[in-house]
Amino acid sequence: MSFVKGLKHVAATVTALATAAGLLTVGAGVASAGPRDWLRPDATGTCEWDAAGHWVQRCDVWSPATGKNISVQIQPAARGGNAGLYLLDGLRATDISSAWLVDTNAAAKFVNNNITLIMPVGGESSFYTDWETPATYDLKDPVTYKWETFLTKELPVYLEQNFGVARNNNSVAGLSMGGTAAMNLAAHHRDQFRQVLSFSGYLTTTLPGMQTMVRAALLDAGGFNVNAMYGSIFSPRRFQNDPFLNMGNLRGADIYVSAASGTAGPGEAGRGAGLLAGGAVLEVFSNASTKLWALKAKASGLQITEDYLPVGQHNWALFSTQLDRAHDRILDVMNAW
C-alpha cells in the first residue's frame, strides 16, 4: 500500500469510527454503525476502502464459475436502502479499477442517494457474457469469462448478504460494450433488473457488418477471439444475445437509451485528430444502432425513453454527461433518493 493510499485508508477508518461512535441505539446506549461506516467481509477477509474516496469499498468476491476472486467496487446506499445500480464498463475495462470511478466519479454523483453502486472491475472485451471457450488466442494463459453467471447468480448472493441489496430491485447501466451487455442482462434476467440504461451502446449486433466490426474491436482491445464468445457465426447464442432480437423480454422494464451525434463538443477541441476521428465514427455507429433498436422497440409496444445529444463523441466526456442526465430518472424509478 502506498503512503498516500495508506493515509486515505487511515483517514477513512478514523472517520468511520468517529461516525459510528456518535450513533447510539435508542434505549440501549450501544454504538451502532451506519450503512456506510464499516467494511464488509469478503473472500480475503474484509473489503478495503477504495482510493476513489467517498464511501467506496473494494471487495473480492469468489466466483466458482471462473475459479477466482473478482474485485467489485461498491458504495453502499446512504440510508440502508435495498436498491442496487450496476454500472458496466466499456471495451477497454482494466483490472485496476472501474472507469466509472477513474474517468468520471460515479460515487460522487450518487453520494447522497439511497442506492448501492455496484461496479465490477475487469472484463476487457467481454461483453459481460459467458464465453464458450477461453477468450484469448493464448491458450497457455487462458482467460475464463463467465460474467453473466457472476453478475446474476454469484454476486447477487454476496450483495444481499453483506450490503442488503435485494435480488429483485436493481438497475443496470453501461457504456458502449457495457450498454450492449446491460440490455442483454436485463432481457435475460427480468427478475433481477427493473431498469436498464444504454449509454452509446451497440444494440444491433447481428446485423450485416456488425460481426466484422466486433471482431476487429476485440482483436484491437487485448487480442480476444470473437468466435470464443458464442461459437460460430450461426450459433443460436449469438442471436439470443443481440438486443435487437431479444427486446421482447424487456416488456415491463424501465428502458432508457442514449447516444450522441458524433460531432465534437466544446470540451473535445483539444483532443488529437486521430481521437476525434475515432470518437466520431464510433458514436455515429452507436447512434444509428440505437435509433434502429428504438424504432423496432416502439413498434413492438415497448415503453422507452430516448435521449439523443446534439454534440458528443464516444468518450468519457459524453458518458459522464449521459449518467448525469439519467441520474434523477434512476432515483425516481428505483425510489432511491
Concerning whether 176 is annotated as a catalytic residue, the answer is yes
Distance CA 304, CA 256 (A): 6
In the structure grid, which three cell numbers stand for residue 154, read together? 454469484
**Closest CA relative to residue 128, chosen from 173, 195, 67:** 173
Concerning whether 160 is annotated as a catalytic residue, the answer is no
Catalytic hit among 125, 283, 286, 289: 283
Concerning whether 286 is annotated as a catalytic residue, the answer is no
Catalytic hit among 63, 126, 176, 258: 176
CB 165 within 8 A of CB 83: yes
Catalytic hit among 126, 189, 200, 314: 314
Half-sphere exposure of 234 (CA within 13 A, CB side): 0
Distance CA 227, CA 229 (A): 5
Distances (CA, A) of 5 to 8, 48, 83, 101, 297: 5, 11, 30, 16, 47
Catalytic site positions? 176, 283, 314
